[in-house]
Chain A
Amino acid sequence: KQEVTQIPAALSVPEGENLVLNCSFTDSAIYNLQWFRQDPGKGLTSLLLIQSSQREQTSGRLNASLDKSSGRSTLYIAASQPGDSATYLCAVGGGGSNYKLTFGKGTLLTVNP
């Protein structure tokens, strides 16, 4: 059974700092990996999707990497801002199909002004 772990569970940084969120998964037979942002009362927002054949994806100040063989992904946030404060969720698409997501518990990020 796929298990997804996110470290750290919580992170507090000063504004402007570059930071890395980590995600690891136990079964490397995945179709894709997705990063989401969750804000209170607003549900989940899809940030980045990396297909299993890709190594990384970038969107603005966000860069996500994928190393399937080692079962790891990182989300890099450059020049963090208070508006980046949220819970970041990693989800792995696998289990024989690309739609079946297994989620980690998330990293709660606080960016202090």
Chain B
Amino acid sequence: DADVTQTPRNRITKTGKRIMLECSQTKGHDRMYWYRQDPGLGLQLIYYSFDVKDINKGEISDGYSVSRQAQAKFSLSLESAIPNQTALYFCATSDSARTPRQFFGPGTRLTVL
């Protein structure tokens, strides 16, 4: 079983719709991250969370919000999707007590029409 799972894996939506991407992990890690990847570009950090009560903005948080429902769950929401949010979205985790190594989920491909 995958340690970091993301749902849905693919999503097509229309401009103006609200959508939520979900991430769950069974690694027991305290830190969780959301990234987006655009074709030909490096990954960019959207939000990160050190624990349930500690959520922080990353480089490109405008237009996004997050919720850390439990240590194992971290959701990313697009309140009103726009076409330039079409991208590949990744969730990642790390364990602050051990190593800064980050472990990634399989990604969600989001298309906004």
Contact = CB atoms under 8 A, between A and B. Distances in A.
A44 B90 contact: yes
Main SS at interface, chain B: strand
A105 B42 contact: yes
Nearest to A102: B42
B103 interface: yes
Interface residues of B, number: 23
B106 A34 contact: no
Interface in A1-59: 4, 31-32, 34, 36, 41-46, 49
Residues of A in contact with B, size category: 20 to 34
Majority secondary structure, A binding face: strand
B102 A105 contact: no
Closest 9 CB pairs of A and B: A103-B42, A44-B104, A98-B100, A43-B106, A103-B43, A43-B104, A49-B101, A43-B107, A105-B42
Interface of A: 4, 31-32, 34, 36, 41-46, 49, 89, 91, 93, 98-106
Interface of B: 4, 31, 33, 40-45, 48, 90, 92, 94, 96, 99-107
